[in-house]
Amino acid sequence: MSRDNLRWWGWGTLDQTYDLSERPGFWPFLSEELGLTGEERGPQADLDRITLPASRLSPDDLDALTAIVGAEHLSAEHKARVTHAVGKSYPDLMRLRLGQIEHAPDVVVWPGSEEEVAALLALAVRRHWSVIPFGGGSSVTGGLTALGEWPAISLDLARLNQVLAVDPISHTVTAQAGILGPALEQALNVEGFTLGHFPQSFEFSTLGGWIATRAAGQQSIRYGKIEDMVEWLRMVTPQGVIETRHVPASAAGPSLKEMLVGSEGAFGVITQATMRLRPLPTLRDTRGLLFRSFADGVAAIRAMMQSDRPPAMARLSDVAETRAYQALSPARHGRAARLTRTIGTRLMKRRGIELHGACLMILGCEGDEQSVPEDMDAALTVCAAQGAFHLGRSPGEAWYAERFALPYLRDVLLDHGVLVDTLETATTWDNLLPLYQAVGQAIAEAIEAEGVKPLVMCHVSHAYTDGASLYYTFLARQVAGREIAQWELIKRRATETIMQHGGTLSHHHGVGSDHRPWLEREHGPLGVAALRALKHTFDPYGVMNPGKLLEQGP
């Protein structure tokens, strides 16, 4: 993938967008929900309008960097610094559109080997620079901002992008950390394997980024989160190289591997990892179901997770998100489509399900020809016991076909002056519905405090035997002149509510700088002191990604 084709001010590639021309119900739905007039326009990005602080590196500094990576793998040009200054969160994209980039790396470097990474860190220590590891640039928690007083190097791992070995006996792959999701998966599929890790950012995120942020893929019920897949990893720190053992499990004290996974570049640079694999599925079955209520759907997921045959995926949308999906559906015309809708509505009403108030579940199973039908039958039996109406395969296949496309819609909404962002948490089953209500209410009230109408949606996206995650999407008309302050109020009130009501600070987005103020509430003072001790051990000079995960400084 050519990085010249990436949309620097938004998501994905320049040749793709989210086409609403065949989805006539969406803008009327959104206009009614948010009180839009159709005249709203958001700030438009203009690279020439963005003014960056001057690079603080001297010609001698650049010569020293060039001696390590070569002149062709180093850039202090305007676009390179802009595109490495922020990630892909709402405030990040608004800063680009508003031309308000206060912090940017002084230079971007692309090392081609682990030895070059080590040399760059050693140089940074000697010259008092900070180093910000950069993978795919898809952080949504402020993980890439150049904080601190020192000159900053953005260390882009794009050249460390090779699969080093596939072990068909142990079912593992060893790869460099800068490899993008599609390239890794393609290499594995040829060998008959899959990693099974498909976050929504899959096309534009890297193996190292997944590990550094404890990411989760859409089929995490079957394959686990990324930390479940890591067998071995290797990290270059300012104090030297550290690596774990190539073993499936160990009782040799606290897990060093667990200390490195989720470290978000604050301890060092992940350069390689060995990942556990699964055989490439030969069959996939994805269905749609409607439930009378969110509570009924939650009960169904809990029963499936606590059974002997959980599905690969169970994604449950609340009423608001289900209505949004309906509004986004492509137009269907003709007598057959009308007849299908009429019959379907009648059958749902017999089950006590009103389409306007129903909750959609996308249910997926994958594996081999024998296990998938059995798994799906077991899952559908559980859902039927909770009163679900089976919609068949069409909704599931439609969701699967578009599962990486929705981030493109965000750019369209920003163009039309709509604030849109997401946040997520997780909790135990007994607390899931109370937390769902509390956080949704907090987001809505924070939006209303700015004098605009809210649209707050949520889905359960990852589930376990003892609980599940909640993933919120919220929209509102932007308040001109307060676009970022408006978001900050929502984020602060929602996060406070999560912490007060027994949720985790983050289930899979990570900490970055956005969540860092609440980390002590998550781990307690002694826990954060332990993390500081790890930071001091690996990075006593404080050069690694300052202000992320932990406060700035050594």
- DSSP for 16-68, please give it: -----TT-TTHHHHHHHHHT--S--------GGG---PPP---HHHHHHHHHH
| CA distance to 11, 70, 445, 477, per residue, from 414 (Å) | 11, 39, 21, 10
Please classify residue 90 by burial: count the beta carbons closer than 10 Å to its beta carbon, then call 0-12 exposed, 13-18 middle and 19+ buried: buried
In the chain, what is the straight-line distance between the N-terminal and C-terminal CA atoms, in Å?
37
Residues 157, 209: Cα–Cα separation, whole Å: 10
SS (H, E, C) 449-489: CCCCCEEEEEEECCECCCEEEEEEEEEEECCCCCHHHHHHH
Amino acid occupying residue 188: L
- DSSP bridge partners of 428: 467
**Rounded to whole angstroms, how far apart are CA atoms 97 and 88?**
12
- Per the CB < 8 A criterion, the answer to whether 236 and 117 are in contact is yes
CA atoms within a 13 Å half-sphere pointing along the CA-CB vector of 112: 10
The torsion angles phi and psi of 291, rounded to 5 degrees, stand at: -115, 150
| Phi-psi group of 354: left, alpha or beta (phi > 0 → left; psi -120 to 50 → alpha; rest → beta) | beta
Q: Residue by residue, what is the 3-state secondary structure of 254-285?
A: CCHHHHHCCCCCCCCEEEEEEEECEECCCEEE
Catalytic choice (90, 471, 472, 541):
471
Long-range contacts of 241-245 (CB under 8 A, 24+ apart): 241/114, 241/118, 242/268, 242/538
Joined tokens for residue 321:
């998100």
| Active site (annotated) includes residue 325 | no
Would you please indicate which residues are annotated as catalytic (active-site) residues? Answer: 471
